[in-house]
Amino acid sequence: MLHMRLPVPLLVLVLTVSGCSKQPQQSALSSTATLRLDSYFEQYCDYTGSLGIGFVAWHTYDYRFRQHLKETHDPELKRLFVLQHLNRDVEWALDDFEKGIVRTGKTSSRPLTLSEWQDAQKRIRAQIDDLATYYAFTNFATTNLDLFDPPNPKLDSMWIEELRGKLQSITNAPEGRTREGVNP
């Protein structure tokens, strides 16, 4: 009978110790980063595109999916969705900034004014900083199963530095500073 009583306290002790062990902590985003994340998330979920909703099937289904996605409270899912779209927006904004234009329609644009140029620079810098923040707090990592191409943990973060470098090079470029009245 003694051998039956020994496993029960041992089991209770093991469960207690494992339940009290230190669990992995996930860092929380700051309140301002969370507010911007929610703002980006709402913006990307409410995007209506080129108004093909109701006329083009995949536009309609994509929009309906994003409307259902808005109901999530999962911060990881929100960050991944925002990372996908914000990265694309930053790339497009950098291209327009490099050309010194502001989009006025699908196929039309005009040159940036000085105040628009300064605002675009600040906005792009903030978006790149947001990308870096959301990337750092996301449990997403590139994995590669190719034996001849081993994973590089720094590879995922290097693209953010490339974006910062591109913004800096555009800002410091002589043609960027003298473009049509733009003198930062």
For residue 24, tell me if it sits in a domain. no
**Cα separation of 76 and 74, whole Å?**
6
Residue 111, helix vs strand vs coil: strand
In-domain check, residue 4: no
Question: What span, in angstroms and rounded, lies between the C-alpha atoms of 155 and 14?
Answer: 40
**Helices then strands, each counted (H, E), the chain:** 8, 2
Q: Is residue 5 part of a domain?
A: no
- Summarised one tens digit per residue, pLDDT across range 69-116 is 999 988 888 888 998 899 999 999 999 999 999 999 888 999 999 999
Per-residue pLDDT averaged across 112-121, rounded?
94
Confidence tier at 63 by pLDDT (50, 70, 90): confident
Interacting residues of 102 by C-beta distance below 8 A, sequence separation 6+: 96, 109, 110, 111, 112, 116, 120
Domain that holds residue 105: 29-43+73-181
Per the structure, the count of domains in the chain is 1
User: Does residue 64 belong to any structural domain of this protein?
Assistant: no
Decide if 21 is inside a domain: no
- Provide the whole-model pTM: 0.69
Looking up tokens 């985003």, which residue turns up?
A: 29
Predicted confidence at residue 76, as pLDDT, reads 84
What is residue 120's predicted lDDT score, i.e. its pLDDT?
Answer: 95
| Distance (Å, whole) CA 122 – CA 128 | 10
CB-side neighbour CA atoms (13 Å) of 148? 0
- Considering the domain boundaries, does residue 166 fall inside one? yes
The answer to whether position 12 is within a domain reads no
133 part of a folded domain: yes
Q: Is the dihedral of CA 52, 53, 54, 56 positive or negative?
A: positive
pLDDT digits 0-9 by tens, 159-170: 889 999 999 999
